[in-house]
Each structure stands twice: as C-alpha cells, then as structure tokens.
Amino acid sequence: MKDFQYLAPRRLDEAAALMAEHAGSAQLLAGGTDLLIFMRNGRKSPEVVIDAKKIPELTRLQLDAGRLTIGAAVSCRTVWEHPEIIEKFPALADAATLIGGIQIQGRATFGGNLCNAAPSADTVPPVIVYGATAHIASARGERQAPVEEICTGPGLTSLAPDEILVSLSIPAPQANSGAAFLRFIPRNEMDIAVANAAARVDLDETGETISAARIAIGAVAPVPLYVEAAGAALAGKPVNDGSIASAARIARDASTPINDMRGTVEHRKQLVEVLTARALRRACDRARGEKIQ
Amino acid sequence: MSDTSPKNGFNVVGTSPIRPDGLDKVTGRAQFADDFHLPNMLHGKILRSPHAHARILSIDTSAAEALPGVRAVVTGADFPAVRHELLNQGTAGVLNIREMSENCMAKDKVLYDGHALAAVAADNPHDAELAVNLIKVEYELLPPVMNVRAAMADDAPVIHEDFHPGGFIAPTEKYLPNASRLQLGNGDPEQGFAEADLVLEREYTAETIHQGYIESHVTTVTWDSNDYVTVWTATQGQFALRDHLADIIQVPISNINVVPLEIGGGFGGKERLYIDPVAAFLSKKSQCPVKIAMRRDEVFRATGPSSGTYIKLKFGVKQDGTLTAAHLHMAYEAGAYAGGPLFLGVMSATSRYNIPNIHIDGFDVIVNKPTMRPYRAPGAPQALFAVEQMIDELACELGMDPIEFRMKNLMRSGDRLVPGFPLAPIDTEKMMETVKAHPHYQAPLEGANRGRGLAYSIWFNIGEISSARMQVNPDGSVTLATASPDLSGTRISLAMQAAETLGIDVEQVSPTVSDTQSIGFSLPSVGSRTTYSTGAVVCEVAQEILKQMCERAVLLWETDAGQVSVENGVFSNKAEPGQTITFNELAARMFETGGPISHHRTGHTQSFIPGTAAHLVDVEVDPETGKVDILRYTVFQDVGKAVHPDYVEGQMQGAAVQGIGMALNEEYFYDDEGRLKNASLLDYRLPTSLDVPMLETVVLESPNPAHPFGVRGCGEISIAPPPAAIANAIYDAVGVRLYSMPMAPRKVCAAVKAAEPAKAA
C-alpha cells in the first residue's frame, strides 16, 4: 500500500472543495469494504482519501411521507435494521442482508456499492427497480440523475472526478406494489453474485393484473442492468407463469455475461432467467400482502 | 517384575476432558507464529513471478537496495548450488533438495505464478513491500502447461530439461518429458474382462485444490555470528524443517533449532518449508532477526496445494456382482517439481475391494502450478471420486443395493492389497453392517430432486518414528514432551494415554511440544500418526516410568524386586499386604530413593494401519440453478479406539467438511496465461458454516493390535468419501452423473440440461 493523506471533512461544501482540489488523485471513503482492499492489492493508489462518514448529508437516513432518502455513507446494517424501511422496501432488505457478514454490513454502504460500480453489486438492482434518484454534489453545484445512469462500466461511473454522491432518494411505493431481490451464489454466504435480479411490480386493485413493472439484473453485463423492456412487457398482463416467463426471457436476452472465475456465460444466462422469474413471483406475492422474509 | 500392563477397563481413555490449549486459543492468548516478535526484528517480503512459465533473464535489485530502511536483498544467486541430493526420510520417501531449494527461490526459470525470485528485509513491512516492487525482472516467456493431459500430450512444452522422478513414498520412473510413471497390478486383466458380464469405462477429472488452513505461513529466523540458526514458526514437523533447511542453507543440522509455535491448521500443507530459508539468508545478510508472513494470495499461489487429476477407469463385473477386472489410468498433477500424491492415490483407489485382475497405471505429471504437497489423505478424494462412483454405477446397472454390492467384493483382514502385502486386522464387515442398520440408511427419503449417496473408503495410517520424554516431579505432576506438533488436540490425547498408563488423573500431566534441540527426532504430524504412533511411544515411556517407580518402592520398602506392583496409581507390596504408596507420595520421595525420575524414548511403530469410513448423504438439487444442498450427512468411521471421543468426532466432521468443500465448489481457477485468478478466500470457495448441516458421527472401534489401547488414527480418512458420496446422491436425485470435480452449480446445471432431451424422448 502506498502512503496517502487521510482527510475527514465535516461539511459537504468542505468535502466538495477538497474533491475539486484533489480531483483525480482523491478517493471518497465510505465503508471502505472495497476501497481498502483495492489499496492493499494495488488496484487503487489514491494520494488522498476523503472520509465521507462525518458529513451530515451523507449519513442521513430519512423516511418522509413515504419517500426514502439514504445518505451515501449509511451502512447496510442501518438500513435493514429500520423496521419501517424493511416493511415498505423489502427488496432493499433482501440485498442488504445478503452482503457480507454482520461486520461487513456494519461498514458497507449503498452509496459505496453504487460508486464502486461492480457489475455484481447487490444493492444496485433493488434501487434501480425502486426508481431511485441519485443526488450529486460538487463545488460546481448540485445535480440529480436516475440511479441506473450512474454505473457506466466495471469500476466506472458517470460521476466527474470532483463529484460526490450525496444520497439516493426513492419515491413512496404505490398501493398493491411489491418488490424482491434474489442473487445466486454457489455457497450460502460470503460470496459475490454469479447473477442477481430485482423486480418490482405494481398490481391493479384486483391484484390479478400487473399495471407496471421494473426489472434490473446484475453480474451479467458490464453494469447492473435496468431491463426496461422486461418491465414494459408485463404492463397490463395477468399475474401468471406465462407472463412472468416471457419477462424473464427478455431479461435473459438482455444479458451479456462473461466467463470468469465466478461463473460461465451459459450458467449466468440460465440463472438470470430463473432469478428474474423467481423475483417476479416473490414481488407479486408481496404486492398481494404476503410477508416473505 | 511389576505388573504394568494396561487394563481392559479404561479410566481416562474414552473420556473428553478440555484440552490445555483450548482456552488460550479461543481468547486469543495462544502464541501463533505471527504473534512472535524479537528486538531489532526486520520484516521480509518476497517478489513473486506473475508468469506461469518463464526464463529469468535478469534481476535488478539496485533500486530496492537504495531505498531507506532496506537492510538486505536476496535472490536465487544467494542460495548455494545444491546437488540433486536425495535426502532419505524413511517411509516419507526420498526428497530432492535442489528442487526444494529452487521452489523456495527460483534460479534460472520460474515455474508457476507466484514462484519466489527475490526478497527484501526492511525495518517495517511497508518499506519491504515498497522495495520489492522496485525490483526489475526481465523474463523470456515460455508457454504454460496447465493440466495433466496437456503436459502428457505429444507436443507439450518441456518444463524441465532434466527432471528427477518423484519419490513421495514410492519411486516412479521417468516416462515422458513431463511425467513419471508407477505401475501396480495383479492377475490378468484381459482374462478378467473376458469373464465379465458388464464392463464400464468412464473418465473423471478434478481441479487443483488447497488445504485452506486459516493461518498463513509465518516464520522468524535468526542467523547468529556463530552460524547458529533459530527458527520460530508453525510447522507440522520441526525435524523435517530443520533437516531440509540445513541442506538448503548448508549449515550442520546441529546448528539449527526449530521452535514450533501454535499452528492454525496444516492438513498436510505445513510439513514443507517455503519462506524459512529466505528469512535465514535475509537474516544472515542483515545480521538481524527477520520475520516473513505470507499474505493469503501468496499462500494460494506459492505453497503446496493438492493435485488436479485425470482418471480413466475400466471395470468388469459379473451379473452376480463379483468384480472380475479393473484398469485404472490415474494421472496426478505434481506441480512444478515431481513428487505429488500419486502413490497414495493409487494405493487408496481400490484398496477395499478384492479385484482379482487389476492394472493401475499411475502418472506423476509436472505442470506450471505450485508443487503439490499432501492434503489430508493425499490423493484419495480424487481417486475415490472416480472409483466409488464407478462402484455405484455398476451396482445401479446390476440393480443391486450399493451395500450388498460392496459386501460382495469386500476386502477383509489378510486379503492381498494391490502393492502385495495383506490388509492388517480391521473389521470391514461390521462397518457395512453398521451403515445398513443405521436409521439414516433405513429412513425413507421423500421429495422431488432429493437423493441419497454412499461412499466407502479404506485409508492407511502411518506409524514410524516418534519421540517422547517424561519427567515425574516431586509434587506428583508429570511433564510430557513430544516432538509432535499439535494440529488437532493431540496434546490432550497424548496426555490421556500417559495418564491412563500411569494410573493418574489427566490433569496431572502437562503435555508440551518441544523444539529440535530438546527432544529426539520424530516424523512430522502427518498421516494420522500422532495419537497412534506418538501415543504408543508415550505409553512405552510411561511403562518405563512405572518400572522406575516400582524400583523406588522396592528401595523404600526394602523388599525384593518383583514384589511391587502398581494399579491405578497405587503401588503395593506383595510381600507385605496392606503396604501401599500412591503415585504422588512416591513422587514426593524421589530424592531419598535415587533422584529424579525421567525417561526419553525414540520409538518406532508399524505403518499402513488401515482405517475405514463410510459416508451417507442426502442432497437436494435445484435443477434450475444447479445448486446442491446437503440435507443430512452421516460419517461412519472405524478409529480403533477413540481416546478423546469429542475430538475424534471433530476430526471426522472437519475432514468431511473439507471433502464436501472440494466436492461442491473448491478449485484453482487459472486464466489462459496460467495466472491464478481466485487467490483469495472470497473466490476460493471453502464451505462456510451455513453450507453444511450438523454432521452426524458414528464411531466404530475395532482395535488396532499395534497400539496398546487399539488406536488407529482418525484424522484423514473422512476427507476422501464426500465427493463420491455426493456425486452418487446427485445421481439418485436428478439422474445425472457428474464426472468432473468440483460439482459446481454450473456443471450440475449443464448436466441436468444435457439430460433433458434424453428424458423427454
């Protein structure tokens, strides 16, 4: 590990000024569960590490009139220990509980997971299907972007070198809405997704017809992938095996996985179809009021 | 002469006292190798090849040497040229010291991703790492050879211009540029196949796997101004390390003291040196103590994993289930240098069934991977994955119950093993009958995609040379030292054998593991030998102590020799009924009866003591994802005598978990250039506690006549059956055979998919 300077600003404007000053040579540190490993193995060698965890806007977790705001440095554990969030946004808990063990969950953050931009990031497909907006700040001002536009490639984001992800905000879910996230790993814990999938469905008042749906898949493309067409195909369709299967097929066809130590192209395509279908079924069950942990 | 023979009823053996090292280990007080520090100690780091196969053209260390804080730099040039000297290690075979040296530090060629080629000692680990990264190396890249079939192909790149056939237990003969050969057989296979009603031929593969011990390799070495070298490290064998180190660094063996510290797992992977000679030369150059601690990725890339294999079987059987013939082609990776676990794989492949006509053609194959080293029942899991699946497939084809089929061909005590000698006494029938009568075997298995599988194994435990030293203290306590590092609770199991023999409480015995200057030579803690072999020597020493104490009582009571007997720690005078003295009372009077009471012995015990194990497993397969979940698992094992039943069960479960890991997910994953891509515990998928259910254990005890209490050793065998048992269960669940290990979800999924059209048709 190379020597580096550690800075811990306490205000957002101060952090933005530091990011501008050290743009290109600075890394924001949230939980550090990726960054510290990259610094140890030489994949990243920042000259300046700016700690995000002392900035109020980045550590806020707020549920306001149903709208959820997750500060970029809020830990996964904090999110899934919030009973109201788990009830209203179960797919977030699905993902947050799967990441690491208790110690890692206490460090790892939704914001860090998004900015690390791993194709396999477990918290990203759920926030995509919930329609989250990313709030971004820099010394040049503030902007917003749909969360599915943040990751642009493995380890790459649309954030400029001086920009800071402040928070993710998720609109209040509609009535008769449900979501779920599933991932496949060869073991039962402590692993990186071979493939994952998140689904959200809004049912009509009968609970038999899908009025809208969003599907996102992971570890099967250069980025966590929002498959708009798979959701669109479900609009107006009845909740049944046939419509779920065709949406899952679209998700499969949208995937462009690679062969690596964690999985093969063939297996990942198979898995993403299976996981999408299973996540959709679970999302429908939740939309109908079933409690599924 | 006093009566000191062991009794049938045990006082200590068969109980489960708490181990003396337990509390300090769970509270973090125990001193492992990385907890050891010396004043002025430097930290060493090693530069490792990123290439699987390359010639070293030049190494420029000038920038590293110029870095402030750097005290010494070594390369292969600092390692003395040693001949291809074969060091005789008794039944451990003969070892090639030159290759061992070059495995620690490459000279002309690097032979695998991770091969060491330079090292730095600096004031702190940070500076050492910076300096290592300043060393410039020019390579001429050579084509990597990454598996046994590629290495044995006609046009395979040659890894060593000249290589010396491996000598791990049994010698092999050079056969191909990258392979040596070992052939064993019996009868006339051609005739046997002609007699068969059914002949099956199958091919099986396995990937390279690692022991996965949690503690990485760490050593601290001082080389003083008199050329005395002291090593503090975690090792399975301080004497093996000492002798190998002496040859590599070329100092007399008597100049070296190896001090074994607590060990955080070995499983066969810590009986060989890697970093100790490097630290020694760094210490010699810097004139300071040097510590080297491997990172996890270094452990995976550059220690001694277990072989990937290619095994091709042809088995013939009569309609009534009698095996008539077998041909086994077994190719094991040796890694960078010859001498992988081939012989033990060959030895364990069929040694539990009588096959009158058999030929085994074994190959020890050099590839551009780290040098393979023993891993708990070396070679057996790969061999059994093939043979026990073949047995199951034959039984299925014949419509026979898998236990009946095995019973039909079961090897019993005295039957001839493939290498020619007879199977030592053990009750193999009782094992089969126990499995058959067990509730797990009898229980119905319901539900879709669920199946049950069985595998059976005989494994041979090593005896050979062990040392023990015992001293009785005036307060009645007993100091017990052995040369056997404690991998698995053997300090307590040895103390228990001492206490049982002496007739005292186990709490009175303090067991320790000595350094090489303080006790006689011993083979390492390998081959399931410590509780058996060292235990037998401890019992002999205890018998001698009792004899000495009887003589003291003779002096005390002024009676005739032979009049004093001892039972349960009480000495009595036959000539004077009612005259008794306890062990503690007699110990207190040692100085009026001739002084200290102590004894040291280096003893020898018989090898190839068989142990048996049968594993029964229920699985559920998710045919859509290929994931295999283990629902129920029972380990049956004949341990001879369970000295400490709790720790014996722990050995059975621990071995089974490692077998389950290699069955389902563990594998080295190399890219096309021969670089290891999953050198981390994240991506090398060892099983976690959530991946295995509680493993039931059934302990059988058919006594080993070569040990006073009947102990056989129990540490290794249960790693061997899981892959085959799980494969057989998967077949029972979803009707597909997995011929490739690990049976990872991607493979199970593909096999299920491939079978779908056939099923539909």
Q: How many residues does the structure list for chain B? A: 761
Per-residue pLDDT at A291: 78
- Residue whose token pair is 């022991």: B211
**What is the token pair recorded at B481?**
């030292």
- Residues in chain B closer than 8 A to A270 (CB atoms): 624-625, 749, 753
Widest CA span of chain B, in angstroms? 93
Q: Which residue of chain B has the CA closest to A264?
A: B746
Out of A188, A260, A267, closest to residue B749 by CB: A267
CB pairs under 8 A between A and B: 54
Cross-strand pairs, B72: B121
CATH assignment, A56-170: 3.30.465.10
- Residue B160 domain flag: no
For every residue of B73-112, which 3-state class applies, written as one string?
Answer: EEEHHHCCCCCCCEEECHHHEEEEHHHHHHHHCCCCEECC
**Minimal Cα–Cα distance from A142 to chain B, Å?**
37
Residue B497 to residue B530: CA distance in whole angstroms: 12
**What is the token pair recorded at A238?**
């009845």
Among candidate residues B282, B303, B1, the one with its CA nearest the CA of residue B132: B282
- Residues in chain A closer than 8 A to B749 (CB atoms): 267, 270
Q: Are residues B497 and B628 in the same domain?
A: no
The number of angstroms, rounded, from the C-alpha of B360 to the middle of its chain's C-alpha atoms is 23
- Interchain CB distance below 8 Å, B625 and A274: yes
Order of strands across the sheet with B136-141? B109-110, B54-60, B136-141
Q: Are residues B632 and B752 in the same domain?
A: yes
Q: Are residues B442 and B517 in the same domain?
A: no
- Residues B186-199 have pLDDT tens digits of 999 999 999 999 99
CB atoms within 10 A of CB B144: 24
- Residues in chain A closer than 8 A to B626 (CB atoms): 267
Per-residue pLDDT at A41: 86
- Residues in chain A closer than 8 A to B670 (CB atoms): none
Angle at B42 between CA B41 and CA B45, to 5 degrees: 145
- Residue B680 domain flag: yes
Q: Are residues B613 and B756 in the same domain?
A: yes
Domain extent listing, chain A:
5-51, 56-170, 177-287
- Residues A118-160 have pLDDT tens digits of 999 999 999 999 999 999 999 999 999 999 999 999 999 999 9
- Residue B740 domain flag: yes
Per-residue pLDDT at B170: 73
**Minimal Cα–Cα distance from B634 to chain A, Å?**
21
Domain A177-287 belongs to what topology?
Enolase-like; domain 1 (3.30.390)
Residue B275 to residue B120: CA distance in whole angstroms: 12
- Interchain CB distance below 8 Å, B624 and A274: yes
Residue B752 to residue B747: CA distance in whole angstroms: 9
* Mean pLDDT across chain B: 95
Global pTM value: 0.96
Indicate which of A270, A273, A276 best probes the interface with B, i.e. most B CBs within 10 Å of its own CB.
Answer: A270
- Interchain CB distance below 8 Å, B691 and A187: yes
Which secondary structure element, helix H or strand E, spans residue B330, and what is its range?
strand B323-335
Q: Which residue of chain A has the CA closest to B128?
A: A1
Residue A128 to residue A91: CA distance in whole angstroms: 11
- Residues in chain A closer than 8 A to B750 (CB atoms): 266-267
- Interchain CB distance below 8 Å, B745 and A261: no
Which parts of chain B have pLDDT scores under 70? 1-8, 84-94, 167-168, 758-761
Tell me how many domains chain B contains.
2
DSSP 8-state class, residue B306:
B
ipTM over 0.90: yes
What phi and psi values does residue A274 have, to the nearest 5 degrees?
Answer: -65, -45
Indicate which of A182, A192, A261, A268 best probes the interface with B, i.e. most B CBs within 10 Å of its own CB.
Answer: A261
Per-residue pLDDT at B4: 36
Which secondary structure element, helix H or strand E, spans residue B459, and what is its range?
strand B450-461
Q: Which residues contact B548 (CB under 8 A, 6 or more apart)?
A: B597, B599
Q: Are residues B613 and B744 in the same domain?
A: yes
- Residues B52-95 have pLDDT tens digits of 999 999 999 999 999 999 999 999 999 998 876 666 655 455 67
- Interchain CB distance below 8 Å, A190 and B129: no
DSSP 8-state class, residue B255:
G
Q: Which residues contact B182 (CB under 8 A, 6 or more apart)?
A: B170, B171, B172, B173, B342, B343, B346, B360, B362, B363, B364
Out of B624, B677, B687, closest to residue A187 by CB: B687
What letter represents residue B319's amino acid? Q
**Minimal Cα–Cα distance from B669 to chain A, Å?**
6
- Residue B555 domain flag: yes
- Residues in chain B closer than 8 A to A266 (CB atoms): 746, 750
Q: Which domain holds residue B637?
A: 379-386+396-459+609-760
> Is B118 strand, coil or helix?
strand
Domain at B540, CATH number? 3.30.365.10
- Interchain CB distance below 8 Å, B669 and A261: yes
- Residue B307 domain flag: no
Identify the CATH class of A5-51.
alpha beta
Per-residue pLDDT at B8: 56
**What is the token pair recorded at B586?**
């007699």
- Residues B135-165 have pLDDT tens digits of 999 999 999 999 999 999 999 999 998 888 8
Out of A1, A186, A260, closest to residue B745 by CB: A186
Out of B129, B130, B665, closest to residue A186 by CB: B665
Domain final residue pick, B561, B581, B605: B605
Pairing mode, if any, of strands A177-184 and A195-203? antiparallel
Per-residue pLDDT at B761: 47
Q: Are residues B508 and B578 in the same domain?
A: yes
Q: Are residues B620 and B756 in the same domain?
A: yes
Per-residue pLDDT at B1: 33
Out of B130, B665, B688, closest to residue A189 by CB: B688
Among candidate residues B307, B310, B369, the one with its CA nearest the CA of residue B341: B307
Q: Are residues B637 and B650 in the same domain?
A: yes
